[in-house]
Chain A
C-alpha cells in the first residue's frame, strides 16, 4: 500500500526536479540581488555572491549579516530560508551560511563555513566546506554529506572581473556520493559608473550547459534596478535594491517557462 506520506514526498521531489531541469538542487538560491541578475554573480562583489564564489569574500571589509527568503512559485513548501554572516580580518574574510529548504516531510539543510583571501592586487581565492543534511521522516533514510567548493576571482582589467567557481569537484566515484559537481565561469564589467553587466556559464555533471547574463543599473542614488536571463528554463529575472544607511533591501522576481514566478527578498545589515 502506498502511503500518503510517500506520495507527498514524491510529489515535492518531482516538483523540485521540475523547477530546475538541467541544474543541480544544491546550488545556493540565496540573494535577491543575485536573483535579479539571473544569478550571473560569481564575479560581482556582494554579500550573497560571496557565498556563490568564496573568492569574493576577500572584498568584504566589514562585519555583515544577512537573511534571505526565496518563495518558489508561491508554494510555501518550496521556500528556502537563508542566513549568513561575514567577518573581515584584513586580507582574509570568513563567512558562515545556513540554508533551510522544504517543509516538515522533506527538509534539506546546508551549513557552510567559508574563507576568502586576497592573493594579490588582482587575484583572490576562497574555499568553503559544506555540510548537507536531507531529512525525510518515517521510513526514508536521512542523507548527510560533506563536500567543498572553491573559487577564484581576478581583475582582467580595472573594470572587468573574471570568476571561476567549482562545487563538489571531487568526482562522485571517489567520494561515493551522487551529488553533482558544478563548474561556473563568468565575467563581468562595469560599463560605466552606473551600469554593470555580467555573463556566466554553468555546467553540472550530467546536465547541459546553462548560460546566464544580467545587468545592474543604478537608477538613482543607492537604488538599483536589475535584470537577467538564464537559458535554464528560459528564465527572465527582474529586481530592485536600495540601501538605507546600514540596511540593504533587495527584491527579485524570476520567471519559469511553465511553473510561474519565483520571488526573493533579502536584507543585509552592515554592522561595522
Chain B
C-alpha cells in the first residue's frame, strides 16, 4: 500500500486535543472525595458514556461534504479537500504517486493513493460501494471486474464534464483513443461515460531482434518465408519459427514461452489465438467487448473456429517452454529477460523492463494473424468516481480525473523514473517528442512499442474480452478448461464444449449488483 505523504508546504490540521481532568482519575477522586471542585467517579463515568454515545452518533451521522470556495480559478474551488484514490499497483499510478505535487499546487487538493493487487482492489471497491460510503472517491475501474458489475455505483462523467464551472478534459472525450474510451469507459450504453482511459496495456509480439537478425537468412532458407515479424506473419509461421529455434539455435533454450498458468493470463494468451482463428466467446464478440452487455446471449466457444483455435493453442504450447504452464505475465516476462525465450506474446508495458536488461536487443510487433484476423488483447483500465460521493467531493474527484488523464500528466508519466504507463490520448502520440521517442535510442522505452500497439488498437485488430458483469466467473471457466486441455485432461473439443456449458450456466443465473 502506498500512501502519498502530504506535501511539505501544506498545512496539516492539528489533531483534536482531549484534556482529562485529574479528578477524572479514580486515584484523584479517592484521594479527595469531599474536596470542593472534585468530580465524583460516577459523574466521570456518565460523562464518558455520554461522550462515547456522542462519538457513536457522530460516526453514524451524515458525512460532511467538501467545502466549495468562491474563486475565479476553477481548479481551486475545492482547495483543502482530501481524496482517496484506490488503484492497482500499475506503472501509471506509481508515476503519479511519486509526484503529486503538481496536482496539489494546481488545486490545493490532497490525494492519498492506495495501491493493491487487482483482486484485492476489486474486493475493497465492492465492499466500499456496498457500504454506501465513499472511502475511496476515485476508483481504478477495471472494465471487467469493476466497471461491468458495478457501473451503477459509478458517476456518469459526462454530467460533470457538462458543468460550466468545472474544467473539461483537454481535447474533450474525443482525444482519447476511441476503442479505449469505449472499452475502458463505457458500459452497455453508448451515451454514458463512467471512466476515463488511464492505462492501456496491450498484448504484442516481443522477440529477440538480435537473434532474428543473426538467423534470419538460415531461417528463411529452412522455413521458406521471411521470419521477421511483419504485417502478414501468421500464427502458423510463429509456430514454425518457435520450433526452428528449439531445434537449431543454442542461444536460447526455447523458441517461445507463454503465460499459461491457470490464471487470468491464460485466458488473455488463449484469446489472441481464439479471435485470430475466427472464434469468439459470444455471437457479437466485438460489441460485447467494446460496449459490454448484461445478457450477451449464448456462448459460442464450441464453434468449429474456437475448437480449431484450441487445437492450435495446444499444439503451440507443446513446443513452448514447458514452464509456460507455471507462468503468468510476470513469469513469462522474467523468463524472456533471462534469455530463455526467443519470443513471446506479452503486454507492451514490459518493454521498459526488457530495454533495461537487454537494451536494443528486443523487437516489438503486433501479434501474428490467424485464418480470420489479427487480434491483440487490450487490458486497459479507466479511472472513475464512486457514486457514493457527495456533490462537491465528486467535483473535486473530477478535477483529479481530468488532471491524471491529461496529456501533460501522461507525458510526465512516460518520463518518470519510477514507472509510467503509455498514453491513452491521441494528442500525446502526435507530439513530435513522443514520436521521436518511438525510435532508438529512446528516453521513454515503452514508446518503442508505439507502432505495434497503435496497429493493435485499430478496431479490426483490438482484442476485447467480453465486458459482462459476470466475467470473473466466465474467465475462471475458460482458463480452467484450457488448463485442463494443456494438462491432457480434455481434448480441445471437450474443453471448449465444457467451457461453453459453464458459460451458459453462469449467464443463465444473471447478475444483480
Are A and B bound to each other? no
